[in-house]
Amino acid sequence: MTRNQKDSLAVFQRTTQLLTPHRMSMTRRLLLTLLTTTAVLAAGCSHFKKSAPKPTTGIAGEVEADFKVRWVDKRTAELVAHGQAAEAARTQATTEFNERYGYTSAAQK
């Protein structure tokens, strides 16, 4: 055997001693753990983020009330354009809104 072959054999033997099955298993676990940790940190952990605020019924009530005002105003203008008196038109528009959208909290007020 030549000197280069002996050196190559010695390096190979040291490498195989360092990479025993137990040590390879630990290396793989460590590598897998590091990769998983990196992926979680890079993506951002959703457990620590605040969830979106839940819509409150106050906002929904405001929207419904605004819808009622706009709808009644529009219908009142249509009835006045057809020749009805303003106060009678508003009363009729409010009645129509309550009949049509009776399930809303705005109609129940």
Q: Where are the chain's structural domains?
A: 3-48, 57-108
pLDDT tens for each residue of 24-74 = 677 888 888 888 887 777 766 556 666 666 666 678 888 999 999 999 999
What mean pLDDT is reported for the chain?
78
**First-residue to last-residue Cα distance in the chain:** 102
C-alpha closest to that of 88 among 100, 96, 76, 97: 76
Asked if residue 101 lies in contact with residue 107, where contact means CB atoms within 8 angstroms, the answer is: yes
